[in-house]
A and B are shown apart, each in its own frame.
Chain A
Amino acid sequence: MRGTDFVLKRVFFAVATVFVAITVNFVLFRTVPGDAVSALRCRQCTPQFKAYERRTLGLDQSKLKQYWLYVDSLFHGDMGRSLRTQETVWSALWSPLKNTMPMVALGTLFSIVLGVATGVISAWRRNTFVDKAGLWTGLAFYAMPPQWLGLMIVLFVAGAIGLPTSGIETPTLGILGDPSTWTIVMDRLKHMVLPASALGLVLYGDYTLIVRSAMLETLGEDYVLTARAKGLSNWATVWKHGLRNAMLPVITLVALSLGFIIGGAITIEYVFSYPGIGLEIVEAIDQRDWPIVQGAFLLLALSVIFFNLVADLLYYKLDPRVTE
């Protein structure tokens, strides 16, 4: 297969996956009991009022018609409006998304740096105490439920190191005075540290294990032995001949992690009361606000598909044999 064919095929699959995601997205939320109107409970919620609401929201249309309208609107760049607040989906999602992305990006970056470093060291120092310590620590964090780890941080770490456990800014900041930009930036960073660390620690275990495993395989190759025989330094052997050739599985993992930046970390956000996209999704599901949930899931699906495509294309760049 030629390179162009490979790229075109990957792009085609990505587009097809987007369509499947759109359809699943539509069907999935209509299988749960109740809708935005049945969720209404008020003294004036007479059958007439509910019928009026259903007409207004288009819920009285057939499912097929609703699907068609949904797809048609998407192609016009319109993700719809919140059934509950009538806010546009994009405007409702943008604010929490802006909160989530930096926190998840920070956590992911932390995990990549730490995970790759410990994975490489573990593989290089195979079967030593350093390797075992790195391996078991990585396994332990990998096995920890993020919400549990978050709670432990809240209960036992936050107080000891004086970092905030919730929200994105100090509640009293700027009430009685004008804080400087530096103060605001530092305050935001302080609020990001614990949730980003909780996320990073869980992801770090994943990276350590994958990198260690890939590195062990690579370090056993003949060309690494040759590099050593040529008298290359340890650093050059590991970095140039080991890590670079072990990067393929790591790239997959990085792509997957980046894809999930949009989705945020629902449980982490919940524990740290972090007003991000995860909390928005939970609330929208609770209130049967389909356009919001569909919008969020669509963004998530698009980001995962996009980063997977990027990973595929990087594979092609890094290892042209994938086209064979």
Chain B
Amino acid sequence: MRSIARRRRGLLLIAAVAAFAVTLGTSAGAGATSPTKAKAGGSGILRIGTTNYIDSFNPINFIETQAYNAFIMIYPQLVQYTYGKHGYRFQGDWAKSWKTSKDGKTWTFKLHSGTKWSDGKPLTSKDAAWTINTIVKYRNGATAVAAPALAHVQKATAPNPTTLVVHYAKPVGNVLAQLEQFFVLPQHVYAKYANTKGGKGLKTFHPEQHMPIVTAGAYTIKSYQKKGTTVFIPDPNFWGPPSHADAIALTYYTNADSMIADLKQGNLDWIDQVPFEAIKAVSKMPGVQLQKTLASETTNITWNSNPRKLKNRELLDPRVKRALSMCVNRKRIINVVFQGHASLVESLVGHISSLENPHLGPLKYNCKKGNQILNKLGYKKGPNGIRIAPATHGKYAQKAHPMSYEIVTPTSTDFNVNREFQIVQQGFKAAGVKVTQKVGGDSTATYALETDSKCDAAKHQGYSKFDIAMWDWAGYVDPDFMLSVVTTGQWCSWSDTGWSNKKYDKLYIEQGTTVNPAKRRKIVWKMQKMVYDQMVYTQLVNEQLIDAHSTKWTGFHIELGAYSKAYYTSPRKAG
């Protein structure tokens, strides 16, 4: 009797655990869901795999690039990019047309009429004006993340429901490029959060916790799981070309191998980025097609260029840095690290930029000449083959020492930075310079190593402990952002070199307020040349973006990722 009772208890325990498992699993999986339904009849569901997730649906508080791509799909933008023979160009999104005043300080946008938010409330220019004025109001606090898109904006007005007027404090050279990064928010949803102290509520509001999210764009959100699948369904009120797919299911993978296995098994239709190591394997998969385009990422050797650094000051000399860089075989990096899917690059802004200076360099691989330069500069080789930096005098005097340095590398790159380091190490060795790798950890830890934990721009503190790093930058079509990262104003923020040059800083402000495109280009080219000549970075390669999709689908425009709603709306079933 006792044993039967015990057995029953055991069975009950197992049953309870199983029930617990299933119940919890079911309730947990529900995630954030909106009652909206997708309509079948189009091209079916486009299943996308990604290794980057949507962390927020609030454009005032987000980090991940996948979140930015989602904003493009679900919120109105005034303008967006299109891509053609001549590269990236602007086209209207919610704005049908625009014009600027003679003094360049007032921009007027004509908007589509009869537009609605997903909850049925009218979408008018008042929403846009309110969003702009609110971001401007809290630009140094709660809305700082969204504020760069509205640099120099004084205010916005809405004279009628389809007209928006944006007033600038001074003429701005890249208004459309800035506004392309601006998302209109529903005033009737966000207004109450703007009334909190310092607008803090705007930052802490999470639309995804209040489903359904109020949207107005090509899609609405049917369901959202932060680390799972987000389902986008076409918004019938959208003013632009509608989605071919009945729905988009974007699934986050922490592990690219699982993602590729799912593509192979037909559980996915599209992978938005194939890791470089996996390209060969994916290219052999039947029914899968690879597609490539220019990526925004460039990799580089980052030189500590803080003029006040105390140690290894020989590395401040552009001639030394150039000589060393001449020993780095960048073509080998392309072939080994990127499997041939990258190209040489010279400018900080990268090939993606519409204003890349084509007259820089190229930096040629010529180690013999590099060694001659170092010899000529007085860096003689010691008995062990490592060069000696001679003693110097004056304010920043340093003793003679071997040219032996650490190179900091992050762990968060999308390419094999360890392999890239090895190639750079071999090159430097051929130049008589010893480098060892210092793994900096994730982005935050590596950045802390570069800037120092007590970085203070006002006191000129920081950028004193590292000599060299290897990392990457993701640029943009308009060069403004990439040009800004080496300004003194970005010390302890975006700057990872500590470079400080008053003339350059002045030019940066000038390019931002130069409306004439030819004049602006001239300034921008000059700035790129300054960075190149000073060897603030040694640019290594410009990556390519490789995606893979099922041959059952067609119409992909991967160059429009994070640039246009067409990135999701254009794919359709083949045949």
Contact = CB atoms under 8 A, between A and B. Distances in A.
B4 interface: no
Interface stretch (A18-26, A245-253, A264-272): A264-272
B255 A86 contact: no
B247 interface: yes
A73 B20 CA distance: 31
Contact of A105 (B21, B144, B258, B412): B21
Interface in B1-55: 14, 17-18, 20-29, 31, 37-38, 40, 45, 47, 55
A45 B447 contact: no
A275 B493 contact: no
Nearest to B250: A171
Contact of B227 (A164, A189, A279): A279
A23 B219 CA distance: 47
B228 interface: yes
A229 interface: no
Interface string B230-252: 01010000000000001101011
5 contacts: A43-B484, A56-B200, A171-B249, A185-B26, A275-B226
B26 A86 contact: no
Interface of A: 32-34, 38-50, 52, 56, 84-87, 95-96, 98-99, 101-103, 105-106, 109, 151, 154-155, 158-159, 164-169, 171-172, 174-176, 181, 184-185, 188-189, 192, 269-273, 275, 279-280, 285-288
Contacts of A165: 258, 261-262
Given A85-B56, A85-B206, A273 B253 contact: yes
Interface stretch (B448-456, B523-531, B552-560): B448-456
B141 interface: yes
A99 B28 CA distance: 6
Interface string B482-507: 00100001101110000000000000
Q: Which 7 A-B pairs have the closest CB atoms?
A: A275-B227, A102-B21, A98-B28, A86-B204, A34-B448, A44-B144, A33-B448
B354 interface: no
Contacts of A43: 147-148, 481, 484, 490, 493-494
Given A41-B493, A176-B246, A166 B22 contact: no
Of the listed residues A38, A86, A192, A288, the one surrounded by the most CB atoms of chain B closer than 10 A to its CB is: A38
A151 B490 CA distance: 42
A184 B24 CA distance: 12
Nearest to A40: B493
Nearest to B25: A188
B294 interface: no
Contacts, number: 211
Nearest to A178: B37
Interface of B: 14, 17-18, 20-29, 31, 37-38, 40, 45, 47, 55-56, 61, 63, 139-141, 144-145, 147-148, 200, 203-204, 206, 209, 222-223, 225-229, 231, 233, 246-247, 249, 251-255, 257-259, 261-262, 264-265, 267, 412, 441-445, 447-449, 451, 453, 455-458, 481, 484, 489-490, 492-494
A175 B17 contact: no
Contacts of A168: 25, 28-29, 225, 228
Nearest to A155: B261
Given A42-B148, A49-B141, A166 B29 contact: no
A98 B24 contact: yes
A169 B29 contact: yes
B488 to A, nearest CB: 12
A280 B227 CA distance: 9
A227 B458 CA distance: 84
A40 B139 CA distance: 15
A106 B447 CA distance: 41
Nearest to B18: A106
Given A102-B28, A154-B255, 15 more contacts: A33-B448, A34-B445, A41-B494, A45-B494, A85-B61, A99-B24, A102-B20, A155-B261, A158-B261, A167-B229, A171-B251, A175-B246, A273-B251, A273-B253, A285-B442
A285 to B, nearest CB: 8
B37 to A, nearest CB: 8
Contacts of A270: 254-255
A155 B445 contact: no
B565 to A, nearest CB: 20
Contact of B139 (A44, A87, A192): A44
Given A33-B449, A52-B140, A154-B257, A96 B148 contact: no
Contacts of A155: 257, 261
Contacts of B61: 85
B228 A287 contact: no
Nearest to A38: B448
Nearest to A41: B494
A271 B492 CA distance: 35
Contact of A172 (B147, B249, B493): B249
A41 B351 CA distance: 23
Contacts of A103: 21, 25
A98 B255 contact: no
Nearest to B31: A95
B22 A185 contact: yes
Nearest to A272: B258
Contacts of A102: 20-25, 28
A156 to B, nearest CB: 10
B257 A172 contact: no
Nearest to B494: A41
A47 B492 contact: yes
Nearest to B61: A85
B352 to A, nearest CB: 18
B22 A189 contact: yes
B144 A87 contact: no
Contact of A166 (B14, B258, B412): B258
B57 to A, nearest CB: 12
B210 to A, nearest CB: 13
Contact of A279 (B222, B254, B261, B262): B254
A287 B252 CA distance: 18
Residue of B21, B252, B253, B456 ringed by the most chain A CB atoms within 10 A: B21
A106 B22 CA distance: 10
B24 A101 contact: yes
B494 A271 contact: no
B157 to A, nearest CB: 24
A101 B474 CA distance: 38
A191 to B, nearest CB: 8
A164 B246 CA distance: 23
A172 B443 CA distance: 34
A78 to B, nearest CB: 16
A33 B14 CA distance: 46
B257 A273 contact: no
Contact of B453 (A38, A85, A169, A271): A38
Nearest to B143: A44
A105 B20 contact: yes
B255 A33 contact: no
A42 B212 CA distance: 30
B257 A151 contact: yes
A159 B258 CA distance: 11
A181 B233 CA distance: 23
Nearest to B49: A166
Contact of A169 (B228, B443, B455): B228
A189 B26 CA distance: 9
B21 A164 contact: no
A46 B456 contact: no
Given A42-B145, A287-B63, A188 B262 contact: no
B258 A271 contact: yes
Contact of A184 (B29, B47, B233, B252): B29
Given A38-B453, A41-B494, A84 B144 contact: no
A165 B252 CA distance: 12
Contacts of A106: 17-18, 21
Given A44-B148, A151-B257, A175 B231 contact: yes
A176 B147 contact: no
A175 B250 CA distance: 12
Contacts of A52: 140-141
